[in-house]
Amino acid sequence: MSVKSCEKLEKSMVALTVEVSAEEFEAAVEKAYRKQRGSIRVPGFRPGKAPRKIIENMYGKGVFYEEAVNEALPDAYTAAVKEQELEVVGYPEVELLDVGKEGFSFKATVAVYPEVTLGQYKGVEAPKAEVSVSDEDVEGRVKEMADRNSRMVSVDDRAVAKGDVANIDFEGFLNGEPFDGGKSDNFDLEIGSGQFVPGFEDQVIGMSISEEKDIDITFPEDYHADLAGKAVVFHVKVNAIKMKEVPALDDEFAKDVSEFDTLEELKKDVREKMLAEREEGAKRAFEDAAMTKVAQGIQADIPDAMIEEQARRFVDNFRMQLQSQGVPYEQYMKMTGMEEEKLLADARVPAEGQVRMDLAIAAIVKAENLEASDEDVEAEYAKMAGQYGMSAEDVKKYLDTAVIKEQIVRSKAVELVAANAVPVKPEEVKAEEPKAEEPAAEEPKPEKPKRTRKKKAEPKPEETPAE
């Protein structure tokens, strides 16, 4: 293998022209022959026993060339990338230039990690909110605790009301014919959640157990292409009705949900914890704001492949979130009228924000020569061991040291920026602060992009840690 040229293109793309020698290609052709000879029928020879020359005489010299190129090209590309010391991103577009007895040549165009020029990363101004906890906040949190400790009780003496969970069977019909994704049995629907098409849940209100009813729905014009603007009929049957039974807020409740004997003691503890949470939240928000400003200030010719890869990661994470909630991805997409192409398109802006954030952090790590010492690594292992109820040695079996070191240096970069940032009141943030590349994602966009740290790796014994 020899690299004939390595041309830098726009958007951090590189075009490699690579030649594979006659000797290397001959070895690949021989390998292709041995791999394929069993499937080639030659009169007078048992399957797999015909000599290569006879097969080539019958079918042409190039009979094994395609398979040989498939065998040799990946290794040649990998070797070329290594020789040129390229940090590639994503998969290359490959064009076969020439192939014959003397070998073959190809052109591989691929994105590479961009060169990054840092702007200001020390002394940036970022908003930092002052935090407090009101009596109303405490009451709200205690009510949330009561709600979490509520239980679902069956209701059989009244009809479905807003806030109930109705277990229903439903099937949708378009022009009298069932349509794909419009049927489900024993589906638990929280009335008022907005989970289904507008108008559906409202028409379930008032239905009784075992009652069946046809519901007329017209899908929105911006719905899934197959159903956009269409009038359909859902046949619905109510199987069961459940409602939340919330416990009374008194001393007995405090004893049931905490180590405290009175409701007042519980509220005091709730206030202290809420204040600590908000202080930590303000600290994280300050870090995020400072890092977002730093990320906006970098100069980098970011390849599209990096943004597309991050957008796909957001969508995949969104799919996993749905699955963890017991919602099939395909059914969700159908019932909400969302198409994956739109989801990916919506994810591009936050994806670019995340990519810029990652590039900025990596550049700071390099500029400041940040490293993770052995003591840092051991401390992180010990911390994670405590979080997961495992020994540090067990955590080490499932998490590579390189992963831990990356987490540590990224955290150090963020802490360095935050330690040198200038906190200002939110209302004092300059109105002319750039917004164009600010990563902001709303649902149904998959995920907020302004993470200043990559998600912590978790130990995965037998694929599933104690979560």
> Could you write out the three-class secondary structure of the chain?
CEEEEEEEECCCEEEEEEEECHHHHHHHHHHHHHHHHHHCCCCCCCCCCCCHHHHHHHHCHHHHHHHHHHHHHHHHHHHHHHHCCCCEEEEEEEEEEEEECCEEEEEEEEEECCCEECCCCCCCEEECCCCCCCHHHHHHHHHHHHHHCCEEEECCCCCCCCCCEEEEEEEEEECCEEEEEEEEEEEEEECCCCCCCCCHHHHHCCCCCCCEEEEEEECCCCCCCCCCCCEEEEEEEEEEEEEEECCCCCHHHHHHHCCCCCHHHHHHHHHHHHHHHHHHHHHHHHHHHHHHHHHHHCEECCCHHHHHHHHHHHHHHHHHHHHHCCCCHHHHHHHHCCCHHHHHHHHHHHHHHHHHHHHHHHHHHHHCCCCCCHHHHHHHHHHHHHHHCCCHHHHHHHCCHHHHHHHHHHHHHHHHHHHHCEEECHHHCCCCCCCCCCCCCCCCCCCCCCCCCCCCCCCCHHHCCCC
Q: Are 197 and 221 spatial neighbours (Cβ–Cβ below 8 Å)?
A: no
Shared domain for 391 and 301, answered yes or no, is: yes
- Here the CATH number for the domain that contains residue 77 is 3.30.70.1050
Q: Does 136 reside within a domain?
A: no
Shared domain for 302 and 421, answered yes or no, is: yes
Distance (Å, whole) CA 33 – CA 17? 27
Q: Does 279 reside within a domain?
A: yes
- Here the CATH number for the domain that contains residue 383 is 1.10.3120.10
Please say which residue of 57, 88, 113 terminates a domain: 113
Q: Are 92 and 107 spatial neighbours (Cβ–Cβ below 8 Å)?
A: no
Shared domain for 451 and 326, answered yes or no, is: yes
Q: Does 121 reside within a domain?
A: no
Shared domain for 293 and 430, answered yes or no, is: yes
Q: Does 373 reside within a domain?
A: yes
Q: Does 251 reside within a domain?
A: no
Distance (Å, whole) CA 29 – CA 52? 10
Give Cα separations from 193 to 16, 162, 165, 243, 312 (angstroms): 54, 9, 10, 14, 28
CA torsion, ordered 275, 281, 287, 289, to nearest 10 deg: -120
| pLDDT tens, residue order, the chain (467 aa) | 899 999 999 889 999 999 999 999 999 999 999 999 888 888 888 888 899 999 989 999 899 999 999 999 999 999 999 999 999 998 999 999 999 889 999 999 999 999 999 999 999 999 999 999 999 999 999 999 998 898 889 998 999 999 899 999 999 999 999 988 889 999 999 998 888 888 999 999 999 999 999 999 998 887 776 788 889 999 999 999 999 888 999 999 999 999 999 999 999 999 999 999 999 999 999 999 999 999 999 999 999 999 999 999 999 999 999 989 888 888 888 878 888 899 999 999 999 999 999 999 999 999 999 999 999 999 999 999 998 888 888 888 888 899 999 999 999 999 999 999 999 988 765 544 433 333 333 333 444 334 444 444 444 433 333 33
Shared domain for 207 and 284, answered yes or no, is: no
Q: Does 14 reside within a domain?
A: yes
Task: Compute the half-sphere exposure of residue 411: CA atoms within 13 Å on the CB side of its CA.
Answer: 12
Shared domain for 349 and 234, answered yes or no, is: no
Q: Does 254 reside within a domain?
A: no
> Range of 94's domain?
2-113
Shared domain for 317 and 440, answered yes or no, is: yes
Structural domains counted in the chain? 3
Distance (Å, whole) CA 359 – CA 336? 35
Q: What is the Cα 288 distance to its own chain's centre?
A: 19
- Exposure string of 216-229, with b = 16+ CB inside 10 Å and e = fewer, is ebebeeebbeebee
Q: Does 362 reside within a domain?
A: yes
Give Cα separations from 232 to 182, 185, 214, 332 (angstroms): 10, 18, 10, 18
